[in-house]
Amino acid sequence: MPAVKSNRPVNLSMGQVLDVNLKSPVAIASILHRLSGVIVFLLVPVLLWILDKSLSSPEGFAQVQAIFDSFIVRFIVWVFVAGLIYHFIAGVKHLLADMGVAEELQSGRIAATISLILSAIGIIAAFVWIVL
């Protein structure tokens, strides 16, 4: 064992990283906020295409109506809306933290838990509205 403490970085396995981070609502909220941003970013072109098609002509609108009879299309739209709901709620939480609200450790945990609960309620409501 060396006499001097090494400040070199330690490489952790993904299992160790997840084991630590999945116990914290703040870490979960942060990871999901990033994931929801990626989902929204990737699905915006698909929904813009659907919007463009539906506004192009009455025939295009009828085609979009026919497309929405498919469970897969409704599910993709729900994934987009779910990502948007979560990203919005977590974004508001981050903006409030930037203004000094709930930026301490315990209040940050409470705010993250509240944002997760509100998002879950909104996402379930969107599932019932869009998919079912």
- Six-digit token string for 65: 């109506």
- Give CA–CA dist 35/21, Å, rounded: 15
The pLDDT of residue 1 is: 56
pLDDT above 70 covers a percentage of the chain that reads 98
Burial zone of 15 (CB within 10 Å; 0-12 exposed, 13-18 middle, 19+ buried): exposed
Return the higher-pLDDT residue of 11 and 84.
Answer: 84
pLDDT, one tens digit per residue, over 28-73 is 999 999 999 999 999 999 999 999 999 999 999 999 999 999 999 9
Mean pLDDT on 80-106: 95
DSSP structure string for 24-85: -HHHHHHHHHHHHHHHHHHHHHHHHHHHHHHHH-HHHHHHHHHHTTSHHHHHHHHHHHHHHH
- Give CA–CA dist 7/1, Å, rounded: 14
From first CA to last CA, the distance across the chain in angstroms is 62
The pLDDT of residue 60 is: 96
Owner of token pair 């599910």: 75
122 pLDDT more than 90: yes
pLDDT, one tens digit per residue, over 8-23 is 878 888 888 888 888 8
Going 60 to 63 to 69 to 72, the CA torsion angle's sign is negative
Map out the domains of the chain with their CATH numbers. Answer: 20-131 (1.20.1300.10)
